[in-house]
A and B are shown apart, each in its own frame.
Chain A
């Protein structure tokens, strides 16, 4: 029997993998993918909670769809930024992108 806890564990695992990716990857594309994983972990949680706690209403699913839309928009912007940076600098290593400094 798969319980809520299983889903939560999966979400947590996925979130940690995503977080690790976002914090540790050197490649900007990798960082973006990590963020996507984190968002998906959240989506799993939302759907799982909805299914187990409030099966009558679909609030969680709606939220998940919102997150997916926002994530899509964010990836679009993020990728555009990365592409632009790559074109200018021929580089997508985030360690070199420290223009925010000072």
Chain B
């Protein structure tokens, strides 16, 4: 049997975690180096997997199966396709840079890194699982460390935010769990055997009523995580309260878990249900995009701006899912990746500023480019990615989503509204995004020098690792998008094939 690369990616943080357990608390540097080493192993392996993945062949690769509870058809079975592979890579990049962004952590360092590595193990697990049971299990593994990380190491109403986040996610996952169990039972009846294997479940012909119900459960369950309006409020509060690395992982990766689940366990299993609910998703995503961006415009705390910008940007992912065609789904997955990298960059930089200035209030800043030119440049690049500047990864993603949703010509509400109008409304988000991002850049970094901040040091040494790695990633996939889209497309093709095969039914409107 070949080297189980995916399991290795997932277990590298576990090994790191176990090593950290035996390192004494006071050896802080050793702990950090161990964490960095563990995550860099994951990163190297993830890059390797990305390179070795056979795009031409497509489908699930690097398979590995270990029966776990055969009676219920639960197997530890892993594998990645073109959709999950970029997300595995994303997770590896974000956690690697996240460790470096927490280099100046001094409070309970040992526990912090243990929980951080535990969290990322869960996230890796979700993306590589082919088994719905393990998918759910790993998801829960990710949620609990998140609670502790925010509750203990956070700032700004941290207990409230941690509790809010955990409750939202757990309530959401309860919905998803009901959906998963219902699917399992339905499929067991039809297949004559119990299985949680997603590919096998996808071969079942679910009847229309069941699809509508199950997709709705998945929509709520994973939609909370995306986050879909109006279930989004855990995210700004959570982002703001979380320590830097957790914000990075949280906004960068955890939200993608929701969108990934929605595509994998929602659209892929229940294409007709997806068609039925798509108009609702499309309408809500407009709210996400426009309303989220508008709110970001009047925030006073840097992290809240980024938090609401995530709500806005994830709205594009939802738009991509709602449009249900090849271009838009490609764009949605690419946007997950691009947004993850971009938002991680933002949080790393804001964390850097906050650590030194002990405030994130935009009104108190101004002219920081004098003291922190590198941070300013990094933030500007992040901002440009955010507003969709060509040459950076986000542009490719947003462009594909827009193309996909725009070319979908479907009348809603009996012709009163069309999908195209909804996509035009969503595209208008690029103007609002440019306004709020550049306003923040201007108010924070430009303007006359303020002597108050003269003691701030620019980012240097290991602090630059996240900035450089993340910007390089944005540029690489922005300038050579086929490196990314070819992989994603190989994963999207079977999903679109299922959607096309699904019988065309009217949406809810």
Question: Do A and B contact each other directly (Cβ–Cβ < 8 Å)?
Answer: no
Instruction: List residues of A whose CB falls within 8 A of some B CB.
Output: none
B residues adjacent to A (C-beta < 8 A): none
